[in-house]
Structure 1
Amino acid sequence: MAWNEPGNKGKDPWGNKGNGGNDKGPPDLEDIFRGMSKRMGGKGNGSSFGKTGVLIFLAIALVVWGISGFYTIKEAEKGVVLRFGQYIGVSEPGLHWQATFIDKVYPVNVKNIRSLPASGSMLTADENVVRVELEVQYEVEDPYLYLFSSVDANASLREATDSALRYVVGHNKMDDILTTGREEIRKATLAEIERIIKPYKLGLEIKDVNVLPARPPEEVKDAFDDAIAAQEDEQRSILEAKAYAREVEPRARGQVERIFQQASAYQQNVILDAKGKAARFEKLLPEYRQAPDVTRKRLYLDTMQEVLAGNSKVLIDSKNGNNLMYLPLDKLMEKGNTHKSQPMQFQVVPNTEHSTHSNGSHSTNSGTPGSSRLTREQRMRQSGR
C-alpha cells in the first residue's frame, strides 16, 4: 500500500505523519545548509555558507569535469567525435581532450584486416548443387560511415557477400567451379560485392576474396574426385610437354645453326678453292703457250706427286732392267719409334716382281718378307754365274 493512500497510518518519506499529521512536503535546501553550518560551529547564517559551499562544489566539479575529458586514441585507431550527436571530425592517434557530457568519441580500428566467412549450398548454371565457401578480407576505410551509415556494417557486408556469391555461382557451370574456374569465380565475386555495397556507403574497403575448394554433393563426391584428378593429370601432362618442348627446341635450333654454319663454311671453301685454281690456271696459261710440253709434264708430275703422296707402293721405270736398291723410309720411320735398337735392313727389288702400270711403270709392295727372300736368292744366282 502506498504511503499516501487512504488507510495508511505510516509516515511519509519526509518524516511527516499520515493523514492526521501536518503535511509540509520535502525539506528545504536552505534548512539543510543551516543545519550543516550549526554543526560546523557557525552562527546560524546559512546564506553566506551556502554560497561559499556551492562555489567550492562547482570548482571541484569543474576540475573533475576537465580531467575526465582527456582520452587516448591508439595507433591503429581513429576516433569519431560527436558533439550533441552531431559529427564534428575524426581524432587521430594520440592524446586528446573532449568536453564531457557534451562530446562523445567512438574509437574505431582502421588498420586491422577483418575476415568475414561465407558458405552455402548453391545451384549452378547447369542445375547442379555445389557447396561453396569463401572468406572476405576487408578493413575500415571511413570510421564515421562504418558506425553511422547503417545499423550494422558487418551484417550488411555479410548479406552482400552471400548475394554476390549466389549470383556468381548461379552463372557458372559446376565443372568450372570445381576445377579450373576458381580464379574467375574469385574475381567475379569480388567485383560483385564491391558493386553491391557501393550505394550503401558502408565505409569499408574490400582487400581480397579467398574462395576455398568447392565440394560436390556427397552422393557424387567420388565421381567428381576422379574428374578433378583427371583434370590435374591433364594439366601436369601439358606442363611436362611444354617443358620438354622448351628443352628440345633450343637444342634443335643450335644443331640447325651449326649445320648452317658448316654448310656456309664449306660453300666458302669450295668457292675460294675454285677461284684459286682458276687463278692458277690463268697464270699458267701464258707459260703453257710458250712451252706446252714442259708445262704439261710439270703439271703431270705435280698431280702424280699429290696423288701418290700417301701411297705405300713403289714405282720403278720399266726401262731399267737391273735390280733396284729400295730403302723403305716410311716403314723405317714407323719402326724407329718402337724399335730404335734394331738395325736398318735394305731390300733389293728384282725386276720380275714389278707390276706394269698403264703409264709404263712397275710397282711393288714395300717391306714384304717374300720380296726380301727372293732378292737374296737371285743375288746368289747372279754371283754364281
Structure 2
Amino acid sequence: MSWKNQSGGPWGNGPRGPWGSGPSSSGPTPPDLEDLIRRSQDQLRNILPSAFGGKGIAIIIALVVFGWFMSGWYVVRPNEQGVVLRFGAFQGVTQPGPNYHWPYPIETVLTPRVTEFNRIDIGMRVGEDSRRSSSGMRDVPEESQMLTGDENIVDVDFVVIWKISDPEQYLFNVQNPEGTIKAVAESAMREVIGRTNIQPILTGARQNIETGVQELMQSVLNSYKAGVQITQVQLQKVDPPSQVIDAFRDVQAARADAERVQNEAQAYANRVLPEARGEASRVENAAQAYRERTVVEARGQAARFIKVFDEYQKAKDVTRQRMYLETMERVLGGMDKVVVDQSATRSGAGGGNSGVVPVLPLADMLRRQPAPVVQPQGGTR
C-alpha cells in the first residue's frame, strides 16, 4: 500500500504530519523556469533600443576586451621591483617605471620593496604595557636569556637590519621570511654567545659578537636561498639576569680597579725604568771618560818625564836648577807671603838689606778692612 492511499497516515485522519499540517494539494504551484527566462529576455529587449542590436553588442564586447588589455599596465615604484607571474609561475623581474603584462588571470605582478631596510627586534617588544616603562620596550625573557661558554646566563637584546636581495627567492623559496629571519637570528646569537665567556660579552667583545652573528646569519640564509641580505646586527642590551646583576656589577668594579692599578704600575715602571737606564748609561759614560782621561794624562806625564829625564842626562846641573825653580814657582805662586833669600841679599852690592824693597800691601789692607758704619742723621747730641 503506498503512502498516498492512506487517509492521513499513522498520526490520524486527514493530511497532517507529526509536526503540524502537511502539504496541501490545493496550494500554489511553483513557477516555471523556462517561462521566467523568457520573460527576462523580453524585458531586456524592451530596455535596449531597437537600433542597439548585434552591432551594439559587438561594440560593447570590443570595449570590454580593450579595457581588459589596458588593465595589464602597471607602475613599479623606485623602491620596488616587479615580479611577473604567469598562471602562478615565475616569469621575470621588471624594473621601476611603467610596465606591461598580460592581464589577469593570465599574468599577475608582485612588487616587493627591495631597497627598504627592515628591522626585527629580538628579546624586546614595543607593546601596550611598554608605556609603563621609561625605555618604551617590553622585555621578552624567552628570547633574550642565553647560556654563555662558561655556563653563565646573560640577557641579550639585539636588532637585525635586513633587506631583500633577490625578489624571486624571497617570494617563492621561504614561506614566512620574517619568521625565518627571526629564528635564524636567535639561533645564531645563541651559538655565538655559547662560544664566548661572559666577561668579554659584558665588556669589549660586542663588535666581534655582532660581526660573528651577521656572518653566521648570512651563511644560513644563503643556504636557504631566502633572497635576504643582513646589513647589520646591533646589540641593544647585554646584562646579567636581574637577580644577580648587583653581584656582577661588584665583580665588574673590582676588575676595573684591578686594571686601573695594573695600568698605574705599568705607567710607573715605564717612567722609572728609562730614568734608571739613563742614569746607568750616564755613570758608565762618565767612568769611561774618566778612564780615558786618566790614561791619557798618565801617558802624557810619562812622556813628559821621559823628555825631562833626557834633558837631565844632557845637563844635570842646569836641569836640576830649572826643576827646582819651576817647582817653587808652582808651589809659591798662589801664596800671599814673600820669602826673601838672605844669602842672595848679602851677596848684593853694599851688603845689608839693600836688595830688598819693602812693599806696603794696600790692596790687601783695604780688602780686609770692614765697611764703615753709617750713623743715621738726627741722633742724640
TM-score range with shorter-chain normalisation? 0.5 to 0.7
Mapping 1:185-204, distance limit 5 Å: 186=210, 189-190=213-214, 192-204=216-228
With the length of structure 1 as denominator, give the TM-score of the two structures: 0.61
| Structure 1 counterpart SS, 2:113 | strand
- The RMSD of aligned alpha carbons is 4.5
What is the match of residue 84 of structure 2? 82
- Equivalences for 1:230-249 in 2 at 5 Å? 230-249=254-273
Matched, 1:18 2:31: yes
User: Cα–Cα, structure 1 residues 204 and 258, in superposed 2: closer, same or farther, change >3 Å?
Assistant: farther
Q: Secondary structure at the match of 2:111?
A: strand
3-state SS of the aligned residue for 1:150?
Answer: coil
> Which of residues 68, 71, 79 in structure 2 aligns to 1:65?
71
Q: Which letter maps to 1:225? A: R
Shift of 1:159: 1.2
In structure 1, the partner of 2:112 is 107
1:50 alignment counterpart: 57
Separation in 2, partners of 1:189, 1:269: 71
Partners of 2:71 and 2:278 lie apart in 1 by: 87
CA contact (8 A) 2:120 2:182 kept: no
How far off is 1:195 after superposition?
4.9
Number of matched pairs: 312
Return the letter of the residue paired with 2:358: M
**CA distance 1:239–1:52, change in 2 (3 Å):** same
- Whether contact under 8 Å (1:73, 1:91) holds in the other structure is no
Unaligned runs of 5+ in 2: 1-24, 124-142, 346-352, 370-381
Distance change >3 Å, CA 97–CA 208, structure 1 → 2: closer
- Does residue 319 of structure 1 match 2:342? yes
2:169 maps to 1:163: no
AA in 2 matched with 1:110: T
TM-score relative to the length of structure 2: 0.62
Q: Secondary structure at the match of 1:199?
A: helix
CA–CA distance in 2 between the matches of 1:243 and 1:7?
118
Change (3 A) 1:51 1:217: closer
CA distance 1:324–1:132, shift in 2 (3 Å): farther
Structure 1 residues 286, 229: closer, same or farther in 2, change over 3 A? same
Residue 116 of structure 1, CA deviation: 3.5
User: Structure 1 155/60 Cα, relative in aligned 2: closer, same or farther at 3 Å?
Assistant: closer
Change (3 A) 1:104 1:293: farther
Query: Are 2:169 and 1:145 aligned?
Result: yes
Identical amino acids, percent of aligned pairs: 28
1:200-239 pair list within 5 angstroms: 200-212=224-236, 214-239=238-263
Within 5 Å, give how 1:241-280 maps onto structure 2: 241-280=265-304
Conserved? CA contact 1:168–1:189, under 8 Å: yes
1:122 equivalent among 146, 149, 165: 146
Compute the displacement of 1:150 (Å): 0.9
- The runs of 5 or more residues in structure 1 that have no matched partner are 1-5, 11-16, 329-343, 348-365, 370-385
Structure 1 residues 265-316: Cα deviation after superposition (integer angstroms, max 9, x where no partner): 445544544454455455555434322443454455545555666x344351
